[in-house]
Structures are given as structure tokens and as C-alpha cells.
Amino acid sequence: WTVVDIDDEPFTFDRSREAKIDLLEPESIALADFSDMSYTEAFDAMLEKMRTEYAFTEYKGLDWTAIAEQFRSRFEEADRINSSDDYFLALRDFLWSIPDGHVGMDFSVLYYQFQTETAGGLGLAIIELDDGRVIVNYLLEGGPADQAEIEFGAELIEINGKPISDALNETVPWSSPFSTEHTKRLQQLRYVIRFPLETEVEVTFRNPDDSTVTKKIAVSPEIESFNFSSFFTGVTGFELPVEFEVLESGYGYVKVTDFFDNELLTIQLWERMIHKLIEYSVPGLIIDLRLNTGGSGYLADQMAAYFFDEELVAGNTSYYDDSTGEFYADPGDEDTLFPPREDLRYHGSLVVLVGPACSSACEFFAYDLTLQNRATIVGQYPTSGLGGSVEDFVMPEGIDIRFTIGRAIDIDGNIHIEGIGVEPDVHVPLTEETIFAVYRDGRDVILETAVEAIRLPRGAGITPEGPPKVATKVETEAAYQSQAPFLDDLAMETHEDELFEPATVIYNVPLGRSREVLWITGWCTSPEQFDHNWENITLVMTLDGEDIALDRFVKYEGFSGDNQCRFYFTSLTDWPIGEHVLTIEMIFATQLDDGIQDQLFAAGTRVYEYHVYVDR
């Protein structure tokens, strides 16, 4: 760097290795510094600061008075015996009591204790399935568990005589605190099997297709299993912020590793990818955020803007206003997505991969792409649920503390990320099948699911909040007169062959936005066969699992050429987002001759199944 001092006559240049510059800044942004206070005085000052400025006190139900009563005596004791170690532990435990993943301190001062408590391992890693069972998903070859004949896929039942669920619930990870229960649980799974060295652990387990066994296992100083279970296993640090390719399926794939990196480099890589996607007409893009820890929220928002055609307000952040004593969101600070020029906007299908490592700005990027239902979110877990802005201050012994001062909210003023995260639309199950596929066979089942999801219309795989509205007969007649489209005409498939035998026919209807459509069924015969046919036909209409009475449909009878027909139809409106399933069961009680075809229709049920996909 070159520092130019324009106060000098003439101005001077300073190219020294470490230039010193006095900053002019308002007092309001100065770093709060309690380092010259006693431990107890600093605790009181910290507590008062958090009581006033912490963004989620009411949301998380925090009682700062009760917290003070719980911890203040420990700071007093650290002062009394002049013990920095006791002070560090009191500070750690205080921060761990706040369920917010943004809250924390530099734990390097407690590294020795961390090592003492966690240096020993069993040479295995574990994972919890959707059904609550905990199984082994990693074995260190030649490690303690391997020598004890524990197998990959074995179910852990007890540790030291305690049911595994109880042992997990009682485990306090060193990576605390957490904003969401699923993130906490995943870290408990890591730490429940770490012990001090020279510890013997009693493990009750059941190998696949075997009986329950209890063995005492001596831990070893292995770190491999602990590294394996890290959210960031495989990350080298040499990754570019944006790395993209085209998969064999023909869809694009991009891994966005963070929003911390050089912004110019990040945007250059991002725009190069967008150019290539458009140039080669790539039909869809899978965005992998599973290892993205956040960074610049503004950068994340503006990268998401490349997938929209108009400015879009995503939300805002409220901060404590000492002039009013309330949290306030300035309308001038709304988080707005500003789309790039038209030739840099990508309109293909989007799928976003998320996981518990995706935090803070990463979560805002993922949330942005849920707006207007622009993308389908796929994952086994939600994101980490860190929805706020942070500030640091200094405590005695030079300990930097970070806590949340900004409350991120959506356009309606609701807290939408903190403690929740971005939920997958398509949940990839945690079953023995998927665990074996990932950890034994080396498959990426989440990416495989994403490839399947991106091939489907938007809205596929999403359970709607309810069915569409079934119109009245008067409304249906009006919809017909206004030429509302029929579902069959909007379907991706056409089925023109007659079903002489019972069968199921499936239609996929990418409806897109919610709109009015007509749902129709009917049967035509020669005039001579009309009454006999309809006396032996039963219709069952089902909408999202609910039977719809036939008397709610408009009934029409008339002629189509020489043939006599009867149709039942209704209008459907107000479609919630997701995949709707409509079925028509046409049941023939006996063999039928329609008087038109040369072949007879066998008795039985014809099923016409419509999958209607709504994305906004």
C-alpha cells in the first residue's frame, strides 16, 4: 500500500511495510472494551450490553436476570482467587447458555482442556437415522472399534450403560452454542464418542443381522474419526469461491464455497458461469451450498439476483435504537436484489443443495431463491439457522466476544432464518439405504436427488398446504364460457389410445402459477349403447386424497357427431404451491360395448392420474 499524506506541503508518500493511520469514526461504532475491568465488573457490563442490544431476547425466551444469578458467582470466585482459567470457563459456559450459533469467543485459551476432554476416540463415527436409531457410518481400520469387532452399519444402543439417546442429550459439544436443534444434535453425535485418554468405555451394540453385544473398549489417541464427522471434511482451503461444471445429465452444477472471498473474483467467476449457461442453453443449474459458511450478505443477495427479472425486496434487519429503547428496521436499509443487465439473467430451472454447514449469508442466498418459488431446496437437514448480524467487544485477558445485534426479518417483519434455517422442499431421507450409499459406496445421494428434482417441473415433490378450490357450478359455467384451459390440454403427455383393459394413465401438468383450469371426464357411445354403458359405469373423483362428490360437477349430455356423450367437469382455482394429485377412477362393472369400437372394454377400473405442479 501507498499512504498519501495531503496535510504535508507538498504531499508525501509513505510506503512503509506497516503504515499507521489515525481513523476518524463516530463514537457509536467504536469497539466496546471491558478489558480493564475486573472479571465481575466486565461480566456485569457484558450482561447489560446483551440485555439491551441482543437481537433475540424475546424470541428465544431469555431471562437475563436468571442468567446473571446462574453465572455471576463464578466470575466473583475467579476474581477472588485471581484465576484466569476459572474466568475462561465461566465465560465459556455463560456463552454456551445462549442458543445462538453466532455467539462465541476465541476458545484457544481453553485448548488444553479441549484436548484433555476429547483426545481419545473409539475409531468410529455415528449418525442418527430418521427412525431414531444411531448407526456406525465410519470405522477406522485397526482402530479400537474395529478391534472390538464393531461393524460398519452397527447400531449403537448404549454407552457406559446409558441409552444412546440419553447419552446424546447430555452431551455438551465444544462447538456450542447452536441456533437449531438439528445442528446441535449433529455435533452431539461427534462429541458423545470422544473421551479423555486412558479411558475404557463400555459399548453396547448390534452388528447388522446379529445379536446385541456389550464390550469394554479402550480409547486411543486417534483423530481420524473426529475429522471424518466434521461438517467440513474434505475441504482443503484451496477451493475457489465459485467452481462450476456441466454434469453428464446435461445440467449445470456450481459449488459456492463462501461469500467471504474477494468480491471481484467471486463475481467474475459467477458471471463467467452465467454466460456459459446461457451460451450453451443449459436447461437447469444445481447450486451446492452444503459447505458454505457465509460471508457478505450483500454479495449473497446480489448473486441471487442473477436469477430474477425485477428488483425484489428480500427483507430487512432491525437493530436496537437507544433513542427509543426498541428494535427498529430502517426502510432505507431493506435488503434488495438488483438484477444485472438482461443478458446476464439466467431463467433455467434451479435446485439448491443445503445442509447444516450453510450459515448466515449462505442462508440468505438460499432464502432469496425461495422467493417467487424460484428454486427447489434439496437436503437431508435445514441450514444452521443463523439469522442475524454480529458485533464484537473485548473482555478481560483480551478475549473477543461476538454476539448478535441485528434481527433479520422478511418483508412482513417476521423472523425467518434465526432458529429455523432454510428447510428443504425435498427431504433426502436418513435411512440405512442412503447411509450405506454415501459412506460405503461413495455416492452423493443428495446430488442424485437434485438431478431427479431438476428434471421435474417446479413444485414437484413439494407437499401443498391444501387442495385447490373447487368452484360452484355457476363459477364453472363461467370458466367454461371464458375458455379456461382443460387439464388434459396443459399436460406434457397425450394419451389417445383406448383403454380396452384396466390400466393407469398418468398426466404431468406443469401449471406454473396458480390459475383457473377445468377438470373433466366423460364417456361417449353410440346412442343405442348409451344407457346400458352408463348404468355400468361408476366415477370416483379424488383431489389431493379427498373424494369429491360427483354432484359438485357440472353434468353435460349431448352429441359429438353421431355419438352420444356425457361429461362431468368443474373449475379449480387458488392452487397452493406444490405437487397436487388428482385422480379419476372409471369403474366398469361389466364388459362394455360402446357401439363405436370393434373391440369390447373389459370390466375393471381405469385410473387417470394427474400430477399438477404449481410453483407460485
Residue 577 Cα distances to 174, 479, 517, angstroms: 41, 22, 15
pLDDT tens per residue, range 423-472: 998 999 999 999 999 999 999 999 999 999 898 887 788 889 999 999 99
DSSP, collapsed to helix, strand or coil, labels residue 246 as strand
Give the other-Cβ count within 10 Å of 255's Cβ. 19
Under CATH, which number does the domain 469-614 receive? 2.60.40
Q: What is the largest CA-CA distance in the chain?
A: 110
Total residues belonging to the chain? 616
Q: In a 10 Å sphere around its CB, with 0-12 CB exposed, 13-18 middle and 19+ buried, how is residue 266 labelled?
A: buried
Give the other-Cβ count within 10 Å of 376's Cβ. 27
Q: Does the pLDDT of residue 340 top 90, yes or no?
A: yes
Closest CA to 201 of 123, 87, 313: 123
Closest CA to 357 of 449, 450, 272, 256: 256
- What single DSSP character describes residue 245? E
- The residues with which 220 forms a beta bridge, in sequence order, are 121
pLDDT tens per residue, range 568-615: 999 999 999 999 999 999 999 999 999 999 999 999 999 999 999 997
What is the residue whose three cell numbers read 370458466? 479
DSSP, collapsed to helix, strand or coil, labels residue 318 as strand
The pLDDT value recorded for residue 8 is 84
C-alpha cell at 349: 430451472
C-alpha cell at 378: 434439496
Q: End-to-end alpha-carbon separation of the chain, Å?
A: 51
What phi, psi does 89 have (nearest 5°)? -70, -40
**Amino acid (one-letter) located at 553:** F
The pLDDT value recorded for residue 424 is 95
* pTM (predicted TM-score): 0.79
**What gap in Å lies between CA 572 and CA 578, rounded to an integer?**
15
Contact between 129 and 430 under an 8 Å Cβ cutoff? The reply is yes
What phi, psi does 372 have (nearest 5°)? 55, 20
Contact between 156 and 129 under an 8 Å Cβ cutoff? The reply is no
pLDDT tens per residue, range 82-139: 999 999 999 999 999 999 999 999 999 999 999 999 999 999 999 999 999 999 999 9
**What gap in Å lies between CA 514 and CA 126, rounded to an integer?**
44
- Over 489-522, what HEC string results? HHCCCCCCCCCCCCEEEEEEEEEECCCCEEEEEE
CATH superfamily of the domain spanning 116-228: PDZ domain (2.30.42.10)
Q: Does the pLDDT of residue 542 top 90, yes or no?
A: yes
Q: How many CA atoms lie within 13 A of 435 on its CB side?
A: 20
- What single DSSP character describes residue 484? P
**What gap in Å lies between CA 251 and CA 286, rounded to an integer?**
7
**What gap in Å lies between CA 50 and CA 61, rounded to an integer?**
14
Structural domain boundaries of the chain?
A: 116-228, 242-384+425-455, 469-614
Residue 216: partners with Cβ closer than 8 Å, 6 or more residues away: 200, 201, 202, 203
The pLDDT value recorded for residue 28 is 63
What is the residue whose three cell numbers read 448407526? 135
Residue 382: partners with Cβ closer than 8 Å, 6 or more residues away: 180, 182, 354, 356, 420, 421, 422, 423, 424
pLDDT-derived band at 27 (thresholds 50, 70, 90) equals: low
Please state which of the ranges 24-38, 114-128, 236-250, 441-455 shows the lowest mean pLDDT. 24-38
12-14 and 3-5 strand pairing: antiparallel
- Which architecture does CATH list for 242-384+425-455? Alpha-Beta Complex (3.90)
The pLDDT value recorded for residue 13 is 87
Torsion of CA 376, 381, 385, 386, to 10 degrees: -100
The pLDDT value recorded for residue 457 is 80
**What gap in Å lies between CA 558 and CA 567, rounded to an integer?**
9
Report how far Cα 412 is from the mean position of its chain's Cα atoms.
21
